[in-house]
Homo-oligomer: A and B are copies of this chain.
Amino acid sequence: MPSDRSPRDIAVLGAGVAGLTVALELLKLGERVSIIDSRIGAGASNVAAGMLAPASEANFGETILTEMMLEASIYWEPFHLGLEEISKLSVDYRTSGTLVVAADQGDMADLERSASYLTGVGMDVRELRRSEVRDVEPLLGSDLAGVFKVVGDHQVHNRHLIAALTRAFQNLGGNWINGLVENIAERENGIELRLSIEQSDLNSAHVPSGATTKDPLYFDSCLIASGAWSATICDLIGAESVSRNLMPVKGQILRIRAEQHYGPPEHVIRGSVNGRHVYLVPRLDGEVVVGATMEEVGFDSGQRIGAISDMLEDATRLVPSVREAEFRESSVGFRPGTSDNLPVLGRLTTRIWAHFGHFRHGILLSPLTARYTAAAIVGHEVPPWFVSCSPERFATGVNEG
């Protein structure tokens, strides 16, 4: 639905799933869009498990977030079809649902509370009888305290999603700029960006012909979509009230392959083992993602042995055949956490917009939030939850430190 006004030049800072989805929406609305980053999908997007789980991820009391997640989950259906149409690439969207599993009776008490909350918000959650469990998911251990089936949880392959978004962005005429923002200044007639671009990248950086690494670039508007690194850019424009409500939340995950012997489980499995949470997300290609820690330790990228050991032990407790699977990868990501767990969406200054802070829900929420961030930029209407995500809440809100 391009309008009849002339298109604006918009810079999207960040080539993760958040930046890519919003860039795509802006292209669809007829804007000229450049994505600026030194690597594509290299942050949290690269490590995400790709669960689209409004249900099992929902937390008590997070009413707005739950509403967003439920709406985002529904929106994923048309979104992935549209994306695959534009990109001609599959994102491995799967709808086999989630099993939520309690290892012992203490874990079971937690799970029952969670299940009744989810039922209350309209989710289809049902405890399986012991006799059903073996039919539904034969790979589950036989000594578990309880298993619930959650209908409506989906999943997508995070790395295939990045590939499809990248291709779609190119197919719709988006522009890549291979660099990192060093300075950002709002001038009367636009945004001035100074980038650090490796001299060796200058040719591939798509900057204006003849540019050097020192020349600034100009845009009509700019959108910060840099995930956990958005705080640094907020500081560049003096938005400290926002940046101090952002924090990286480290997650360690493992990727294993289970095609030999027993194969991967059919369902996404989320479990509680002695109060510790673990999930197993099987991919169509035989890979299983096992995760994830939640650590507020800054940008410490160490892959702690204790975390790996616990995840393997807990995953094995739920699915004993994990022992026979093969190790493939251990990695670390930094979720863009916020002090109230809501993303930060909306205007920061006249020409600079926020689009970050999706925390643990970036893959699930991004298509929906991208749609309305793009809508807001071109002056279309936005829903009430979008207004609740405004960066203004930190300037005056109760979260203010």
Q: Which residues of chain A have a CB within 8 Å of any CB of chain B?
A: 256, 260, 302-306, 308-309, 312-313, 316, 322-328, 330
On whether the beta carbons of A305 and B330 are closer than 8 Å, the reply is no
Chain B residues whose CB sits within 8 angstroms of the CB of A316 once the complex forms: 305-306, 309
On whether the beta carbons of A304 and B323 are closer than 8 Å, the reply is yes
Closest-by-CB residue of B relative to A256 is: B305
Chain B residues whose CB sits within 8 angstroms of the CB of A256 once the complex forms: 305
Q: A302-B326, A305-B323 are in contact. List 6 more A-B contacts (CB 8 A).
A: A303-B326, A305-B324, A305-B326, A306-B322, A306-B324, A309-B323
Residue from B260, B308, B324 within 8 A of A312 (CB atoms): B308
Residue from B302, B313, B330 within 8 A of A309 (CB atoms): B313
On whether the beta carbons of B312 and A309 are closer than 8 Å, the reply is yes
Copies per assembly: 2
Residue from B306, B313, B325, B327 within 8 A of A330 (CB atoms): B327
Chain B residues whose CB sits within 8 angstroms of the CB of A303 once the complex forms: 326-328
Question: Can you sample 17 A-B contacts with CB below 8 Å?
Answer: A260-B302, A302-B326, A303-B326, A303-B328, A304-B323, A304-B324, A304-B325, A304-B326, A305-B322, A305-B323, A305-B324, A305-B325, A305-B327, A306-B316, A306-B322, A312-B312, A313-B313
Complex Cα gap A144–B326 (Å): 31
Chain B residues whose CB sits within 8 angstroms of the CB of A325 once the complex forms: 304-305
Chain B residues whose CB sits within 8 angstroms of the CB of A305 once the complex forms: 256, 312, 316, 322-327
Complex Cα gap A322–B310 (Å): 13
Closest-by-CB residue of B relative to A328 is: B303
Complex Cα gap A316–B316 (Å): 18
